[in-house]
Amino acid sequence: MQISGAQMVIEALAAEEVEVVFGYPGGAIMNVYDEIYKQSAFQHILTRHEQAAVHAAEGYAKTSGKVGVAMITSGPGFTNAITGIADAYMDSIPLVVISGQVPMSLIGTDAFQEVDAVGISRPCTKHNYLVTHARDLPRILKEAFYLARTGRPGPVHVDIPKDVTAQIATFDYSKEVELETYKPTVKGNMRQIKKAVEAIAHAKRPLLYLGGGVVSSGASDLVRQFSTMTQIPAVETFMARGTLHHSDPLLISMLGMHGSYAANMAMSETDLVIALGARFDDRVTGKLSEFAKNAQIIHVDIDPASVSKLVTAHFPIVGDVKNVLEAMIPLAAQQVDPLRHQPWLNTIANFNKLHPLSYKEEGDRLKPQWVVQRIGELLGDDANISTDVGQHQMWTAQFYPFSRPRQWSSSGGLGTMGYGFPAAIGSKRADMDRVSINITGDGSILMNIQELMTAVEYKLPVINIILNNNFLGMVRQWQTMFYDKRHSETDLSIQPDFVKLAESFGGIGYRVTTKEEFDAALKDAVEKNVVAIIDVVVARFENVLPMVPAGGSLFNMMLEYKEK
């Protein structure tokens, strides 16, 4: 059919079965927004900032497993969104971000609200497009969704000049995507898989190293099956929390800079690392030359560029984790003796007894770790958890009892303050039946506080729990430990009244200082099912421990910090 470029965008989103778009209109994208006004195929949620639109799309994608969609205008609209795009790129989140651009005749003239969006987004997208004619839009939009969701997922950017959205051309969305230079390898090489299983059968101290790729591929059930069948213990990265149930006896914990003693020691003592969908991030490995130095490495990842990029794999397997595990499990069932690993499991149990994840109850103020644990006790599997970035993020990763994949949404690779609240809005939109909790800090929450209006308007009752220590907590911690307590520009003693702030947007606010008050506030917020802020006064100088100092070895953890 012959329709305008703007109409093509709507038709493509409908064909992709998009149910929600997060966005913010402006001049260059106005033709598309005019068509949004006329359509009923999907909901549009107007965020109050473009960065928040992309983070909300990320939260939606993480919780639903679908491609998130954000729509923005040119110039500052796009530059505001770039942080969210970069965040999605670092964490391999499937997004399609559609931006307006000035008309073709004005590109390169420094026109009003013109920026080189394609040039800016090139380093932080899986792929990007500048559409030069409406006839190309059906192909490009279909490719964009295909690229975003296949292979290693990621954000794809489509930049559309305003005159292109007005052009009339033929819309045909029936053609299959065929890209000569993009053919992801989804099935692992069987020879390599067989060699890997042989190595597992001979290993005395094997360890599953689970990354976010396990969640992306939908392989969590297979990982649980494989681990139980072989009795191989597992550590999870920050991005993989919830892959194994928190009560699984084979789950050690999270590893890395703020991982548990047992998890980091297990990685240091293992003789075989089975890395599934993980990229050996510096926050996980610490000092590379000391990382699992006595171990052989099996590395399974769909991204060939990630395999052996940082740690050389003895058994490199390029493929989708789910497909590779489906091939490994029957072989492992025949070759791997689960009883062989009991001495190794006993060693790990001793690590856990020696230095369990813990904290001390002391002083008048609530401990932030208690708050996180208590949320888990009260809500558990009934909640989807988002966080911002800082100490509260690490305490959540350490202490929340995650029970399933896609329960957890946080900014891993980029570490974006302001991520949590809009992501929790997207998460709630993806899963309306569960409570959406954003665990945040008094620094992070102000980065995108305007989204209180979005949540209230669209009746997306996110509960923001602020662990309020009146500090930029993680930076303060580093300043305390490594900068001789020179707390430069991290004191946040002057803060708004968060209760009144929530109420001014049409939500509800609570300020709590005791355990009883916290329980009552959380139960009330859940029962009322409205947008809420629970401002929790917590211990100001609490530190996130254990901690591997930057560039240090995993086995050289700071287990406690003593004031000098």
Enumerate the active-site residues: 50, 112-113, 162, 474
Residue 45: name the closest of 417, 462, 416 by CA: 462
Residues β-bridged to residue 159: 99, 130
* Rg of the chain, C-alpha, whole Å: 24
Query: Any idea what DSSP says for residue 123?
Result: G
In sequence order, the β-bridge partners of residue 533 are: 464, 509
In eight-state DSSP terms, residue 105 is G
**What is the rounded distance in angstroms from the CA atom of residue 354 to the CA atom of residue 34?**
63
Token readout for 217 is 């591929």
- The whole-angstrom separation of Cα 259 and Cα 270 is 16
Exposed / middle / buried, residue 34 (Cβ in 10 Å: 0-12, 13-18, 19+) = middle
Q: Which residues pair with 297 in a beta bridge?
A: 273
CA distances from 508 to 48, 375, 502, 504 (A): 19, 18, 6, 9
Phi, psi of 530 (to 5 degrees): -130, 170
> Which strand ranges, in their side-by-side order, compose the sheet holding 508-512?
408-409, 383-387, 435-441, 462-468, 532-537, 508-512
Give CA–CA dist 255/259, Å, rounded.
4
Cα separation, 202 vs 405, in Å, equals 30
What is d(CA 92, CA 301) in angstroms, rounded to the nearest whole number? 12
- Residue (of 308, 301, 112, 133) closest to 213 by Cα position: 301
Tokens standing for residue 505: 């947007």
The helix/strand count (H/E) of the chain reads as 21, 20
Is residue 18 within 8 Å of residue 69, measured between CB atoms? Answer: yes
Q: List, in order, residues 6 or more apart from 414 with CB less than 8 Å away.
A: 83, 86, 87, 90, 91
Three-state helix/strand/coil letters over 374-428:
HHHHHHHHHEEEEECCCHHHHHHHHHCCCCCCCCEECCCCCCCCCCHHHHHHHHH
Burial class (CB in 10 A: 0-12, 13-18, 19+), 540: middle
Q: Which residues does residue 436 pair with via DSSP β-bridges, in sequence order?
A: 384, 462
Give yes or no for a contact between 470 and 446, defined as CB atoms under 8 angstroms apart.
no
Among 302, 266, 271, 265, CA closest to 199: 271
Amino acid identity, position 462: V
Residue 516 has a CB neighbour count (10 Å cut-off) of: 9
